[in-house]
Amino acid sequence: MAKSRFEYVKQFERENFLLPQTYIVIRVDGKGFHKFSETYEFEKPNDARALAVMNKTARTMMLQFPDVLLAYGDSDEYSFLLRKDCDLFERREMKLVSTFASFMSVNYLMHWNDEFPNKPINSLRLPTFDARAVMYPNSDVVRDYFSWRQVDCHINNLYNTSFWGLIQKCALSPQDAENELKGTLAKDKNEILFSRCGINYNNEPEIYKKGTVLVREYENWTRGEAELSKLQKQRNEKMRKKAEIRQLHIDIINDDFWVQRPWLLT
């Protein structure tokens, strides 16, 4: 097509190509979900249906983006791990984060009706997400990243369970509940929950305590992708697309999860 004399403005565009051979984690985060959860009257401290919407959405994302090997989420956030050799959108940062935020939002909207058929989304309070991409250069720090998120899930859930326990079981005001918990350690919160609310935190559902792991499960995976022939790589690609995506609510801080799935970090 003919080029106009205005074409030069493209020179102002900048691209950040994320470094090759690094793991990319894209984390999407709900915008204003505190108010969102109030508008749609989420149950406190956790709303099982809202989590189901998030988890279904993340699973759909994994079907749409076969480069995602693993996803971990809790509350209104999800982290997607892209394989190290991924070349999606040539690893362009803005393209990656804007696309993931866009897919997350519309998929969420589509899955909403499955779980909340009686609460249609109204246009003044829409589910929206921002996204960030982070490069991690080796497998150790990738594991530490996911440990960080799971510890964070635990810390938040213990606090929220205690906070709402005091309100719902002991009729404290939110202000009083907050004051009660100020400065308490994990063991104090466990004790408060047990003695004052009659809740044994250990018996709380794993999905609340551990968050949700979605992982591509390979059968017959073999090491040594580096030396694979082109044909084998295509076969692996296919395998990745077809791999079952499994939903788990388990510990991903210790070695077991990773040792059993060597394809995640090679």
Rounded-to-integer distance, Cα 22 and Cα 136, Å = 6
- 57 near a copy of itself, rule: CB under 8 A: no
- 12 near a copy of itself, rule: CB under 8 A: yes
Q: Closer CB to a copy of itself, residue 15 or residue 217?
A: 15
Rounded-to-integer distance, Cα 99 and Cα 67, Å = 14
Residue 58's nearest CA partner among 113, 50, 87 is: 50
Per DSSP, helices labelled H in the chain are 33-39, 48-64, 93-115, 139-170, 174-181, 186-197, 206-210, 230-242, 256-259
Q: Closer CB to a copy of itself, residue 13 or residue 244?
A: 13
Q: Closer CB to a copy of itself, residue 101 or residue 207?
A: 101
- 7 near a copy of itself, rule: CB under 8 A: yes
How crowded is the C-beta side of 207, counted as CA atoms within 13 Å? 13
Binding to a copy of itself by CB under 8 A, coded x per residue (else -) over 82-101, reads: -----------xxx-xxxxx
Residue 116's nearest CA partner among 48, 65, 169 is: 48
Q: Which of 31, 240, 249, 261 binds a copy of itself (CB under 8 A)?
A: 31
Q: Which of 70, 88, 133, 153 binds a copy of itself (CB under 8 A)?
A: 133
Q: Closer CB to a copy of itself, residue 152 or residue 204?
A: 152
Locus of tokens 């589910």: 127
Q: Is 109 helix (H, G, I), strand (E, B) or coil?
A: helix
**Binding stretches for a copy of itself (CB under 8 A):** 1-2, 4, 6-14, 16-17, 19-22, 28, 31, 60, 93-95, 97-107, 109-110, 121, 123, 126-138, 141, 144-145, 147-148, 151-152, 155-156, 159, 185-186
